[in-house]
Amino acid sequence: MPTARAADAGRPFGRYRLVERIGSGGMAIVYRAVADGPEGFARDFVIKRVRPELSKDPEFARMLAAEARLSGLLHHGNIVQVFELGQVGDEFYLAMEYVEGIDLVRLLNRCARLGKPLPVGLACYVVGELAAALAYAHALTDGEGRPLGVVHRDVSPSNVMITPSGGIKLLDFGIAKATDQARDERTRTGKLKGKVSYLSPEQADGMEIDRRSDVFSLGIILHECLTMRRLFRATGGDLATLRMVREAKAAPPSSVAPSVPAELDAIALKMLARDPAERYAGCDEVGAALRPLIHRLGGDASTLGRFVGGLGEFENSEPTDESDWPARAAGTGSADLAPAAVSRRRWPWIAAASGSALILAIAIAALASRTRPPAPERLTTPSPTATAPAPPIAPAIPTAPAAPAAPAEPKPAQVTIRSEPPGAAVTIGGQRRGVTPALLSLPLPTEVELSLSGYRPAREVVTRPGEVRLKLSRLPRPHAKKPGKRHLGLD
Q: Which residues are catalytic?
A: 154
Asked whether 437 and 167 are in contact (CB, 8 A), the reply is no
Can you give the three-state secondary structure of 6-71, one letter per residue? HHHCCCEECCEEEEEEEEECCCEEEEEEEEECHHHCEEEEEEEEECHHHHCCHHHHHHHHHHHHHH
How many CA atoms lie within 13 Å of 179's alpha carbon, on the beta-carbon side?
A: 12
Q: Considering only CA atoms, which of 413, 398, 407 is closest in space to residue 306?
A: 413
Cα-Cα end-to-end distance for the chain: 37
How many CA atoms lie within 13 Å of 155's alpha carbon, on the beta-carbon side?
A: 28
CA gyration radius, the chain: 24
| Distance (Å) of CA 313 to CA 22, 148, 344, 383 | 17, 38, 7, 18
Beta-sheet strand order (sheet of 42-50)? 12-13, 16-24, 28-36, 42-50, 91-97, 82-88
- Cα distance between residue 415 and residue 420, in whole Å: 17
DSSP-derived secondary structure for 166-226: S-EEE---TT-B-TTGGG-HHHHHH-EES-GGG--HHHHTT----HHHHHHHHHHHHHHHH
- Give the three-class secondary structure for 265: helix
